[in-house]
């Protein structure tokens, strides 16, 4: 059979946590879950082709023509985030009308909102868990036109009714194969801070043991793949796909130090020509709980293991605000850790959130000031929104007796809008304005600019930075004119 994987473009929304111009400049990333699906389909001798219109910037009509030439047996879609759900369904409806092919939808939101997603009749089948063990059974039944009741974790439509089969636990993340990156044109992808080509993303672990109220990553607990599996994936990236930079999208990759020590030593041993980055908490770079000194030995291992960039959630310069979001960090202990990482050539991006519970203009000012005192290579300022499946969203709904906005948004009962932030007296407009100012204050410091120029390694980086900077200045001036 031929399976077409559809990945439509998505646009910035009013409820997004980032300013529109930041969202536009993030980069282009492969939707790596399709790599796991492709692996499974190929193992069963089926043919898979990805139509990544988000990366190729192909229009709907161009994609439709290519699909007609390919002649798939069915289409697969990804409901990977509530925020981009309707970008995806708008293409699914059009393709249903133009091709009339059966369609399957999966992804993170398909596990959370299966009935709401199946309310859209552009989808015939929904996979409510990971692709394994679902896919093998689903493809067999689909091919033979057999009994769908034998397929686990499936929602399907018969005579206008939605049926749900039985739940079966998926295999652990540890047992997943390496995602098949041959379906991607790996030369297309980059992040706003990436340095090498080809570039890709991956997951070496899922979940997080912490419990920050604005985040939904803690629901599965921390599940790591082994250091060997992670190194094998990096080696395959180099050998099969000429990939030399990987951004591990794990929520907290460095959580288990032993695993990372081992990974770095394998990278060194095998002389892997690949640099990598990851997200982590600053505590993972400290000696131990209760000993906040930089862990110099661990940082040495990261340097030798080619870790070139760390994305660290600092969030606020106010202890009160941090306590309010259930993230307790000793603020004065952060700087020495970042300096120790910097010394080893590891670039640091600090994440900050503005508009948190209990936030005031004073605490935001404190955060901006704090961000400028830290030795950061980049800073990202986002607005705190009630993201789906977070404690913050839940609290808002129970406290004020509101319905689940995201559920209703997926159903089409709620429109896209700037979401209320009832946990602060500041207005959304005020937070948006100060977010833009935070970027300008952080990036337009002469010392920062000089340091950044000295670290630039390619023309591509210069063009990228200049473009973003000009856009910031432009949007600041526009906001002044509007006033």
Q: Which of residues 311-340 bind ligand SF4 (CB under 6 A)?
A: 313
The residue written with tokens 């399957």 in the block is 104
The residue written with tokens 């609290």 in the block is 395
| Residues whose CB is less than 8 angstroms from the CB of residue 447 and which lie 6 or more positions away in sequence, other chains included | none
CB of 212 to ligand SF4, least distance (A): 3
Please, which residue, 215 or 246, has the CB nearer to ligand SF4?
A: 215
Q: Is the dihedral of CA 363, 364, 369, 375 positive or negative?
A: positive
Please, which residue, 150 or 211, has the CB nearer to ligand SF4?
A: 211
Please, which residue, 137 or 389, has the CB nearer to ligand SF4?
A: 389
Q: Is 108 in the site for ligand SF4 (CB under 6 A)?
A: no
CB of 341 to ligand SF4, least distance (A): 17
Q: How far is 385 from 393, CA to CA, in rounded Å?
A: 8
Q: How far is 399 from 301, CA to CA, in rounded Å?
A: 47
Number of chain residues interacting with ligand SF4 (CB under 6 A): 11
End-to-end CA distance of the chain: 58
Length of the chain, please? 483
Q: Which of residues 164-223 bind ligand SF4 (CB under 6 A)?
A: 208, 210-212, 215, 217-218
CB of 255 to ligand SF4, least distance (A): 9
The residue written with tokens 């992670």 in the block is 230
CB of 251 to ligand SF4, least distance (A): 3
Q: Is 305 in the site for ligand SF4 (CB under 6 A)?
A: no
- Considering only 281, 308, 347, 389, the residue that binds ligand SF4 (CB under 6 A) is 281
Q: Is 252 in the site for ligand SF4 (CB under 6 A)?
A: yes
CB of 210 to ligand SF4, least distance (A): 4
438 and 431 Cβ atoms separated by less than 8 Å: no
Please, which residue, 254 or 410, has the CB nearer to ligand SF4?
A: 254
The residue written with tokens 């997200």 in the block is 279
Please, which residue, 76 or 252, has the CB nearer to ligand SF4?
A: 252
CA distances from 130 to 43, 125, 153, 469 (A): 16, 14, 9, 40
Please, which residue, 218 or 471, has the CB nearer to ligand SF4?
A: 218
> How does DSSP classify residue 361?
H
Structure-block tokens of residue 345: 């050539």
The residue written with tokens 């002649």 in the block is 71
Please, which residue, 78 or 212, has the CB nearer to ligand SF4?
A: 212
Binding residues vs ligand SF4 (CB under 6 A): 208, 210-212, 215, 217-218, 251-252, 281, 313
């Amino acid at each position: 059979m031929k399976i077409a994987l559809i990945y439509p473009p998505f646009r910035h929304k009013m409820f997004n946590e980032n300013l529109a111009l930041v969202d536009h400049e993030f980069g282009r990333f492969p939707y790596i879950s399709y790599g796991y699906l492709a692996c499974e389909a190929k193992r069963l001798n089926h043919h898979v082709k990805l139509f990544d219109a988000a990366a190729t910037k192909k229009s709907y009509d161009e994609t439709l023509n290519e699909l007609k030439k390919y002649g798939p047996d069915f289409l697969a879609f990804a409901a990977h985030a509530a925020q981009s759900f309707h970008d995806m369904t708008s293409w699914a409806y059009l393709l249903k009308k133009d091709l009339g092919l059966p369609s399957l939808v999966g992804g993170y939101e398909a596990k959370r909102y299966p009935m709401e997603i199946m309310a859209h009749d552009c989808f015939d089948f929904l996979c409510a868990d990971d692709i394994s063990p679902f896919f093998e059974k689903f493809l067999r039944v689909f091919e033979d036109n057999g009994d769908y009741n034998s397929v686990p974790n499936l929602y399907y439509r018969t005579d206008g009714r939605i049926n749900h089969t039985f739940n079966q636990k998926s295999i652990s993340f540890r047992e997943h194969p390496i995602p098949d990156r041959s379906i991607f044109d790996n030369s297309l992808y980059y992040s706003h801070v990436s340095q090498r080509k080809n570039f890709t993303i991956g997951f070496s672990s899922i979940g997080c043991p912490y419990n920050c109220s604005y985040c939904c990553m803690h629901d599965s607990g921390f599940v790591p793949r082994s250091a060997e599996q992670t190194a094998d994936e990096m080696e395959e990236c180099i050998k099969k796909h000429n990939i030399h930079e990987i951004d591990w999208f794990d929520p907290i990759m460095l959580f288990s130090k032993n695993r990372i020590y081992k990974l770095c030593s394998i990278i060194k041993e095998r002389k892997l020509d690949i640099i990598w980055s990851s997200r982590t908490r600053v505590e993972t770079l400290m000696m131990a709980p209760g000993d906040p000194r930089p862990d110099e030995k661990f940082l040495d291992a990261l340097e030798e293991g080619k870790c070139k960039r760390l994305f660290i959630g600092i969030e606020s310069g106010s202890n009160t605000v941090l306590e309010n979001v259930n993230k307790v960090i000793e603020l004065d202990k952060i700087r020495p850790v970042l300096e120790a990482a910097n010394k080893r050539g590891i670039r640091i991006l600090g994440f900050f959130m503005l508009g948190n519970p209990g936030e005031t203009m004073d605490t935001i000012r404190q955060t901006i000031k704090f961000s400028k005192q830290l030795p950061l290579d980049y800073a990202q300022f986002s607005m705190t929104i009630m993201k789906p499946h977070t404690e913050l969203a839940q609290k808002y709904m129970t406290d004020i007796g509101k319905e689940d906005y995201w559920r209703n948004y997926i159903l089409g009962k709620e429109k896209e809008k700037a979401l209320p932030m009832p946990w602060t007296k500041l207005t959304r407009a005020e937070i948006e304005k100060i977010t833009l100012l935070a970027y300008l204050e952080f990036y337009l410091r002469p010392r920062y600019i000089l340091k950044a120029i000295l670290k630039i390694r390619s023309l591509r980086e210069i063009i990228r930075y200049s473009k973003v900077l000009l856009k910031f200045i432009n949007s600041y001036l526009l906001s002044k004119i509007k006033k």
